């Protein structure tokens, strides 16, 4: 048996493949070269695109960084995959300007092949000779192995970098003729190389072309952000505490007041458990977001900028970007990468969610702290490990918090707008057909069909009333929209999820919502009922949940009163409030969780049901909490207290959130928790 010791012999075309396959487009190729300038401690990088719409086009990239010696060119720049920068990051080796390398893979320089076939490099390190390199990439096509291609390197007395240092790269024999739109896209990519929220004073990129009209004036980020109605800025520490500032700034002449909210909250996941970012090596996160409104009525009436440029800017630049040490991590924020699922969420809940084309946001992390967030080999995003998943969850939680305030301030924008009504009954019929043709088992299929029958009947009733009246002041258009979006969600999932418990629960959840509103609309006959009996019935209905969450419910039976009311509606209203308390008591991991309920007369001319818990109280203004789609629950839809409020309006009563000092019946241990009262007028 014969054996040999062999070595890999890389083909000459390998470098061309690296450039073509690992560098997605021309913009990325240029940005990769800009990254090299940043790593070289450059203060300024000049990118000139000359005659790029013709065969004589030329691309020049020049910086004032520390340049390269002959040894570095030979042993680093000409070695694909050299990992000295990665080693600098690992050992936290900081440059003179306090920078850690952002180009770690050693392949970015070969992206110049994406731009053109010929390259001239001139570089000079302080107190060293000038080094010139000429590369003709066409030779790599003709040669068999890398070792067969000779690279011309000249070391000379300075001719270009006289009394200074830096690097000059000139690319000719361009691969394509550029269009003006492609140049604008490059301008956008370079503008977002550094975070627009946090300009680096010691690093600047200048882009220029000699083509007439291509350097025309376009809106800048600093100009566009002035038209954002909502602004959110937060810092998330490694214990999951988010300190944030939310600001609503209405346009001039808008009938609404500016407001600012500053708070600190403990971030939680969808189960209500605290998020601990330190576990996964993410570090401190700074998050900033500007949110716009693109409604034509708003733009036509209030926008002072060019409407076309405004919408085009948001279409091209909208999204949430990620920056590490102030420089961009691709391709988060690009149109094709909905990495946070914003567009999908808005499709399901357009009134309550945001999409990429109405926001511009930036997530900033530090390289030294985010060691578990690992960039992919192609430089387009992070490896989707557990740290990355946690990272996404943190940002989503922050966005949900922002939405709880934004949705409260968005109400005035809906004035004089008619809800677009879709043929939902037909959608339900189509959904029934899909379920009937699916592989769902017979029992579940029958249950779902019966549930959809109830939904269809109740929905028709809600819609009929919504078109004829505004009983109890309810915004029925919002109710209809909520039903429509859930039906769409079910339709999208019915074929793929089959017997998924979550899928079935979505249908049952929809049935509960529509039934609540349908009951309210029907205005069932009101009778004299004992408030204590209603409270006890509510406790009985939620007994299992209280037991599962180890919550003690205390009912004070020292006082009772009969009022004229709809028994079932009031039971449902109390259950909604109890449900909120259960969720928040669990979220904050309150020990010895308790809910207290009594009947009291704390308000003149009213008798009240008082519900309190021993949690941490409301996290948002209660006046906002009753508005539809305003919630700080992860995954919540923000209709619970809205329903309760409508129930009380239908009873000519009041939903209030008093201080503990106003109600003598409330025990001391509940003074700091959430307190809600259902107030009924006493008959005279």
Residue 615 has pLDDT above 60, yes or no: yes
Question: Does a structural domain hold residue 1?
Answer: no
Let me know whether 52 and 138 are in one domain: yes
Least confident of 189-203, 412-426, 570-584: 412-426
Q: What does the angle CA 203 – CA 208 – CA 210 come to, to the nearest 5 degrees?
A: 165
Question: Does a structural domain hold residue 3?
Answer: no
Nearest residue to 19 via CA among 112, 148, 81:
112
Question: Does a structural domain hold residue 6?
Answer: no
In contact, 329 and 192? CB cutoff 8 Å: no
Structure tokens at 405: 């305030």
Q: Render pLDDT for 632-649 as a digit per residue (tens, 0 to 9).
A: 665 555 567 877 888 898
Backbone angles phi, psi at 232, to 5 degrees: -140, 130
Least confident of 116-125, 263-272, 339-348, 480-489: 480-489
DSSP per position, 408-475: HHTGGGGTT-PPPP--HHHHHHHHHHHHHHS---HHHHHHHHHHHHHHHHHHHHHHHHHHH--GGG--
Let me know whether 394 and 465 are in one domain: no
Residue 516 has pLDDT above 70, yes or no: no
Domain range for 314: 221-413
Structure tokens at 401: 């918090």
Measured distance CA(537)–CA(555) in Å, rounded: 12
pLDDT more than 70, % of the chain: 75
Measured distance CA(410)–CA(543) in Å, rounded: 37
Backbone angles phi, psi at 560, to 5 degrees: -140, 160
Mean pLDDT of the chain: 81
Q: Render pLDDT for 109-150 as a digit per residue (tens, 0 to 9).
A: 666 778 998 999 999 998 899 999 998 888 877 777 777 778
Does residue 446 or residue 654 have the better pLDDT?
A: 654
Question: Does a structural domain hold residue 4?
Answer: no
DSSP, collapsed to helix, strand or coil, labels residue 239 as: coil
Please report which confidence band the pLDDT of residue 520 belongs to, taking 50, 70 and 90 as the band edges. Answer: low
**Strand 527-530, strand 319-324: pairing:** unpaired
Give 597's strand partners. Answer: 555, 611
Let me know whether 401 and 428 are in one domain: no
Let me know whether 359 and 446 are in one domain: no
Q: Which of 365, 392, 413 is the last residue of a domain?
A: 413
Residue 423 has pLDDT above 70, yes or no: no
Structure tokens at 674: 């959430």
Let me know whether 467 and 390 are in one domain: no
Question: Does a structural domain hold residue 9?
Answer: no
Question: Does a structural domain hold residue 553?
Answer: yes
Let me know whether 77 and 226 are in one domain: no
3-class secondary structure per residue, 54-101: CCCCEEEEEECCCCCCHHHHHHHHCCCCCCHHHHHHHCCCCCCCCCCC
| Total residue count of the chain as it appears in this document | 684
Does residue 155 or residue 92 have the better pLDDT?
A: 155
Let me know whether 387 and 430 are in one domain: no
DSSP per position, 614-663: SS---SS-HHHHTSTT---STT--S-HHHHHHHHHHHTT-EEE---GGG-
Let me know whether 370 and 492 are in one domain: no
Measured distance CA(68)–CA(132) in Å, rounded: 10
Question: Does a structural domain hold residue 382?
Answer: yes
pLDDT on residue 219? 76
Question: Does a structural domain hold residue 431?
Answer: yes
pLDDT on residue 106? 56
Measured distance CA(620)–CA(629) in Å, rounded: 13
Let me know whether 657 and 628 are in one domain: yes
Q: Which of 367, 389, 413 is the last residue of a domain?
A: 413
Measured distance CA(573)–CA(644) in Å, rounded: 5
Instruction: Provide the number of structural domains found in the chain.
Output: 4
Least confident of 169-178, 407-416, 538-547: 407-416
Structure tokens at 208: 């220029």
Residue 28 parent element (H or E): helix 26-39
Q: Render pLDDT for 255-295 as a digit per residue (tens, 0 to 9).
A: 777 889 899 988 876 666 777 665 668 999 999 999 999 88
pLDDT on residue 145? 74
DSSP 161: S
pLDDT more than 90, % of the chain: 34
Let me know whether 536 and 467 are in one domain: no
What CATH number did the domain enclosing 127 receive? 3.30.565.10
Q: Render pLDDT for 2-52 as a digit per residue (tens, 0 to 9).
A: 667 665 666 666 666 666 666 778 888 898 889 889 889 999 999 999 999
Let me know whether 226 and 322 are in one domain: yes
Q: Which of 466, 497, 522 is the last residue of a domain?
A: 522
Residue 299 has pLDDT above 80, yes or no: yes
DSSP, collapsed to helix, strand or coil, labels residue 376 as: coil
pLDDT on residue 129? 94
Measured distance CA(399)–CA(634) in Å, rounded: 10
DSSP, collapsed to helix, strand or coil, labels residue 477 as: helix
Let me know whether 604 and 492 are in one domain: no
Burial class (CB in 10 A: 0-12, 13-18, 19+), 577: buried
């Amino acid at each position: 048996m014969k054996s040999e010791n062999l070595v890999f012999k890389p083909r000459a075309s390998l470098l061309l493949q690296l450039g073509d396959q690992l560098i997605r487009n021309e913009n990325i190729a240029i940005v990769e070269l800009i990254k090299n300038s940043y790593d070289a401690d450059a203060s300024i990088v000049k990118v000139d695109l000359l005659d790029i719409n013709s065969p004589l086009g030329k691309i020049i990239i020049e910086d004032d960084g520390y340049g390269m010696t002959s040894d570095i060119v030979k042993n680093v720049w000409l070695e694909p995959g050299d990992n000295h920068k990665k080693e600098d990051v690992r050992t936290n080796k900081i440059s003179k300007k306090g920078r850690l390398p952002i180009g770690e893979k050693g392949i970015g320089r070969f992206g110049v092949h994406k731009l053109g076939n010929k390259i001239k490099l001139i570089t000079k390190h302080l107190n060293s000779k000038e080094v010139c390199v000429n590369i003709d990439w066409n030779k790599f096509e003709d040669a068999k192995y890398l070792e067969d291609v000779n690279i011309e390197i000249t070391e000379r007395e300075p001719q270009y970098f006289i009394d200074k240092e830096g690097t000059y790269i000139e690319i000719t024999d361009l691969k394509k003729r550029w269009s003006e739109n492609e140049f604008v896209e490059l301008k956008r990519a370079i503008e977002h190389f550094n975070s627009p929220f946090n300009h680096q004073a010691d690093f600047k990129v200048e882009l220029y072309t000699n083509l007439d009209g291509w350097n025309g004036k376009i809106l800048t980020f600093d100009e566009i952000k002035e038209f954002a109605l909502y602004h959110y800025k937060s810092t998330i520490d490694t214990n999951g505490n988010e300190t944030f500032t939310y600001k609503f700034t209405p346009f001039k002449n808008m009938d609404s007041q500016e407001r600012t909210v500053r708070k600190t909250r403990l971030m939680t996941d969808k189960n209500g458990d605290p998020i601990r970012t330190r576990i996964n090596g993410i570090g401190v996160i700074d998050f900033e977001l500007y949110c716009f409104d693109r409604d034509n009525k708003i733009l036509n009436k209030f926008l002072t900028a060019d409407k076309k440029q405004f919408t085009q800017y948001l279409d091209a630049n909208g999204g949430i970007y990620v920056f590490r040490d102030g420089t961009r991590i691709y391709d988060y924020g690009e149109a094709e990468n909905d990495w946070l699922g914003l567009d999908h969420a808005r499709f399901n809940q357009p009134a309550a969610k945001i999409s990429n084309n109405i926001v511009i946001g930036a997530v900033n992390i530090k390289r030294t702290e985010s060691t578990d967030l690992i960039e992919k080999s192609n430089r387009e995003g992070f490896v989707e490990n557990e740290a990355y998943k946690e990272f996404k969850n943190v940002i989503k939680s922050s966005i949900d918090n922002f939405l709880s305030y934004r949705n409260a301030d968005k109400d005035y924008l809906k004035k004089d707008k008619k809800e677009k009504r879709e043929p939902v009954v037909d959608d339900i019929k189509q959904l029934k057909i899909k379920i009937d043709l699916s592989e769902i088992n017979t029992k579940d299929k029958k249950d779902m069909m019966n549930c959809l029958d109830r939904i269809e009947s109740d929905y028709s009733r809600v819609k009929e009333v919504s078109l004829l009246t505004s009983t109890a002041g309810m915004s029925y258009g919002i109710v209809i929209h909520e039903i429509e979006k859930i039906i769409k969600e079910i339709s999208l999932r019915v074929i793929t999820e089959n017997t998924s418990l979550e899928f079935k629960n979505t249908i049952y959840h929809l049935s509960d919502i529509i039934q609540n509103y349908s009951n309210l609309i029907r205005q069932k006959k009101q009778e004299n009922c004992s408030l204590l009996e209603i409270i006890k019935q509510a406790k009985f209905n939620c007994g299992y949940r209280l037991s599962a969450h180890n919550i003690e419910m205390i009912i004070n039976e020292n006082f009772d009163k009969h009022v004229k009311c709809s028994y079932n509606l009031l039971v449902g209203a109390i259950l909604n409030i109890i449900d909120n308390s259960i969720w928040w008591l669990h979220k904050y991991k309150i020990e010895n969780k308790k809910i207290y309920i009594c009947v009291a007369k704390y308000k003149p001319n009213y008798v009240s049901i008082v519900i309190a818990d021993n949690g941490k109280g409301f996290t948002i203004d209660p006046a906002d909490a009753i508005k539809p789609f305003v919630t700080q629950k992860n995954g919540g839809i923000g209709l619970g207290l809205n329903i309760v409020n409508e129930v009380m309006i239908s009873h000519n009563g009041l939903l209030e959130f008093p201080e503990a000092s106003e109600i003598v019946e409330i025990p001391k241990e509940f003074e700091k928790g959430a307190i809600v009262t259902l107030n009924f007028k006493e008959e005279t």
